[in-house]
């Protein structure tokens, strides 16, 4: 079927959370119902339903400032190569550009094949590191401390500096969840968050002034969780890759940060040590 014959796209809402979760589970992804509710409530999520009404494809546009994130591009196996992803990503691009925002995304290798044709350019690579954490004694590094409610504005400002956009609503949402921990440098120059995902604990975002401080923050978050962990680390950080390898972590997959008609990263990439995840950037 050609793209022009594809079934029409529909706007999705919170009542579609379970159907959306089935799509991300089919792909083996880590997003939870809480993540989907953010896209469905705060962003604009579109999908395609089959004749029997079941959801067969999705994509979401999450507006930040200056740019917005396109993610959750999922097409169930039996409906692939019919132009659905192309159509849905086109809708998300329209949603964001009509608000004056640059569409940005983290592409899987399969996704990059779709987006490259649509005008997205590669900005930098990230690697998903996967490992096992075992809860150890509380952090002894006195330069890293648990973040309290009074640290919220600090975390927000550090995240804004690293990513070049205000994501206060996102951090607020993460920090209000069960199974979330946050640490901050004692001198308030960096922070790290870890939260529960569907398949593994997800480390990120992590922003820091130097790789050394980032390692202290990573150490703190990995010391507080147990079981499988994912961390999406920009590839430029060789030392962090080595450190993770030394702890038994392996590279699970790669992502390319891409922007629509835009070739420069936003923010200060030299302060970004882990993304919030490929769905949020």
Ligand X SMILES: CC(C)(COP(=O)(O)OP(=O)(O)OC[C@H]1O[C@@H](n2cnc3c(N)ncnc32)[C@H](O)[C@@H]1OP(=O)(O)O)[C@@H](O)C(=O)NCCC(=O)NCCS
**Whole-angstrom distance, CA of residue 49 vs CA of residue 68:** 25
Least distance in angstroms from the C-beta of 30 to ligand X: 12
**Whole-angstrom distance, CA of residue 102 vs CA of residue 69:** 8
Q: Which positions from 18 to 57 touch ligand X by CB under 6 A, shown as an x/- string?
A: ---------x------------------------------
Least distance in angstroms from the C-beta of 125 to ligand X: 14
Contact by Cβ (8 Å): 72, 31: yes
Instruction: Using the rule CB under 6 A, give the single segment among 34-42, 67-75, 94-102, 182-190 that binds ligand X.
Output: 67-75
Least distance in angstroms from the C-beta of 198 to ligand X: 14
Closest to 64 (Cα-Cα) out of 164, 154, 151: 164
Q: What is the DSSP string of 11-40?
A: EE-GGGHHHHHHHHHHTT----HHHHHHHH
Backbone φ and ψ of 151, nearest 5°: -90, 0
Q: Please say whether the dihedral angle defined by the alpha carbons of residues 150, 153, 155 and 156, taken in this order, is positive or negative.
A: positive
Q: Which positions from 105 to 144 touch ligand X by CB under 6 A, shown as an x/- string?
A: --xx-xx-xx------------------------------
Least distance in angstroms from the C-beta of 174 to ligand X: 21
Strand pairing class (102-107; 120-133): unpaired
Q: Is 86 or 189 the residue whose CB approaches ligand X more closely?
A: 86
By Cβ distance, which residue is nearest to ligand X?
111
Least distance in angstroms from the C-beta of 108 to ligand X: 4
Q: Is 83 or 103 the residue whose CB approaches ligand X more closely?
A: 83
Least distance in angstroms from the C-beta of 128 to ligand X: 12
Rule CB under 6 A: which of 78-97 touch ligand X?
80-86
Least distance in angstroms from the C-beta of 75 to ligand X: 4
Instruction: Using the rule CB under 6 A, give the single segment among 45-53, 75-83, 141-149, 202-210 that binds ligand X.
Output: 75-83
Least distance in angstroms from the C-beta of 269 to ligand X: 20
Interface with ligand X, residue 257, by CB under 6 A: no
Among 74, 96, 216, 218, binds ligand X (CB under 6 A): 74
Q: Is 219 or 256 the residue whose CB approaches ligand X more closely?
A: 256
Contact by Cβ (8 Å): 60, 95: no
Burial (CB < 10 A; 0-12, 13-18, 19+), residue 175, is middle
How big is the site for ligand X, counted in residues (CB under 6 A)? 17
Q: Please say whether the dihedral angle defined by the alpha carbons of residues 145, 129, 226 and 274, taken in this order, is positive or negative.
A: positive
Which residues make beta-bridge pairs with 252? Answer: none
Q: Which residues bind ligand X (CB under 6 A)?
A: 27, 73-75, 80-86, 107-108, 110-111, 113-114
């Amino acid at each position: 079927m050609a793209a022009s014959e594809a079934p029409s796209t529909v706007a999705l809402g919170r009542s579609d959370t379970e159907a959306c979760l089935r799509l991300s589970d089919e792909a083996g992804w880590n997003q939870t119902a809480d993540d989907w509710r953010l896209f469905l409530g705060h962003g604009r999520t579109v999908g395609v339903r089959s004749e029997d009404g079941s959801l067969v494809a999705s994509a979401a546009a999450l507006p930040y400032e200056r740019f917005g994130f396109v993610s959750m591009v999922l097409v169930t196996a039996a409906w692939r190569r019919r132009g659905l992803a192309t159509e849905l990503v086109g809708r998300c691009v329209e949603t964001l550009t009509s608000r004056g925002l640059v569409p940005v995304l983290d592409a899987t290798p399969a996704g990059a094949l779709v987006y490259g044709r649509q005008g997205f350019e590669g900005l930098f690579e990230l690697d998903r590191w996967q490992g096992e954490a075992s809860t150890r004694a509380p952090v002894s590094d006195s330069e890293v401390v648990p973040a309290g409610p009074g640290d919220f504005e600090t975390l927000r400002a550090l995240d804004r500096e690293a990513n070049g956009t205000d994501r206060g609503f996102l951090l607020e949402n993460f920090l209000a969840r069960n199974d979330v921990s946050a640490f901050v440098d004692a001198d308030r120059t960096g922070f790290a968050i870890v939260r529960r995902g569907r398949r593994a604990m997800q480390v990120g975002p992590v922003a820091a002034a130097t790789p050394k401080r980032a390692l202290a923050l990573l150490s703190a978050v990995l010391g507080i969780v147990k079981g499988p962990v994912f961390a999406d680390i920009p590839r430029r950080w060789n030392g962090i890759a080595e450190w993770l390898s030394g702890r038994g972590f392996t590279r699970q997959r790669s992502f390319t940060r891409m922007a629509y008609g835009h070739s420069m990263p936003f923010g200060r990439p030299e302060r970004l040590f882990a993304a919030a995840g490929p769905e949020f950037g």
